[in-house]
Amino acid sequence: MKSTIEKLILDQSFDYLQPYFYSNPYALRCELGIGDTTEEYMKNARERAASIYHILFPQKADAILFNYWMYDWSDTGDAEKDLFGSNSEDISRIIDLRLCAEMRSLRFLSEMMMNYRHVSVKDLKTYDDPTDADAGLTRRNRIVCYADGVGFDDLDLIEKQIKDDNNSDVSLVSFQNECIFSVYDDRGCDIVFSTYEKMREYYPLLKPFFLPYDVEEMEKRLAHGM
């Protein structure tokens, strides 16, 4: 039988777009980077992320999920050099940046799909505003990969999220603890639970890491179910 969180991440109606904390009722927000110097800040970001990970995943992640974004560059329009300038070197640089982003995303997708059992939940909601000129050009699929005893390099995935070195928004999932652990960058992370009971269970364990700005909101969420 599938856990509640597995059912959620396989459901097309489950958007799971940032900001995760404000978009999900049973979510907690933690601060990672703390310190007066860059070195101290990044050291704390890594150590705090690892501590939260070990609280939530004593037996490692059961699955990961990430977004595969597709943008239709072939929309009708005037010459784009009118937007970016006619300098051939600038145009070449923009083309290279586009290709690099697409290749990184496709490479990560291919690596995950080659190595893990996976499910693709297609045509999900995007950040597009219907009034935007390029609305409808972006598509998003959510890829869910299962550990199945093979396992992931969980801490390496978290490190890449901290360094903002992965354009696929990778999150770790625990079926047993009914949660999704999403590091958005070196500033912090969100933990989304599928049930109030699980949020309440992990609330005191994660409290030392809470982002002060959102403590009042988290206290309200805890009190709501009592």
DSSP string, 140-190: EEEEEEE-TTT---HHHHHHHHHTT--TT--EEEETTTTEEEEEEETTEEE
Cβ atoms within 10 Å, residue 55: 15
> What is the model's pLDDT at position 25?
94
> What is the model's pLDDT at position 224?
81
28 secondary structure, DSSP code: E
> What is the model's pLDDT at position 150?
87
Of 188, 184, 191, 190, the residue nearest 164 (C-alpha): 184
Half-sphere exposure of 22 (CA within 13 A, CB side): 4
Q: Write out the chain's pLDDT in tens, 226 residues.
A: 789 999 999 999 999 999 999 999 999 999 999 999 999 999 999 999 999 999 999 999 999 999 999 988 887 777 666 666 666 778 888 889 889 888 989 999 999 999 999 999 999 999 988 888 778 889 999 999 999 988 899 999 999 999 877 666 899 999 999 999 999 999 999 999 999 999 999 999 999 999 999 999 999 999 986 5
Tokens found for residue 155 = 């801490």
Exposure string for 64-79, b = 16+ CB within 10 A, e = fewer: bbbbbbeeeeeeeeee
Q: Where are the domains of the chain?
A: 4-224
> What is the model's pLDDT at position 225?
67
